[in-house]
Amino acid sequence: MNYLKYFVDFEKNIITLLSRTIGTKLNLVSMPNYQNQKRQYQKMEISRRNFIERGWFIV
What local confidence, expressed as pLDDT, does residue 19 receive? 63
48, 19 contact by CB (below 8 A):
no
Contacts of 40 (CB under 8 A, 6+ apart): 24, 27, 31
Instruction: With H, G, I as helix, E, B as strand and everything else as coil, classify residue 23.
Output: coil
C-beta of residue 26 within 8 angstroms of C-beta of residue 15: yes
Between residues 37 and 45, which one has the greater pLDDT?
A: 45
Query: What's the predicted TM-score (pTM) here?
Result: 0.25
Residue 59 has a pLDDT of 42
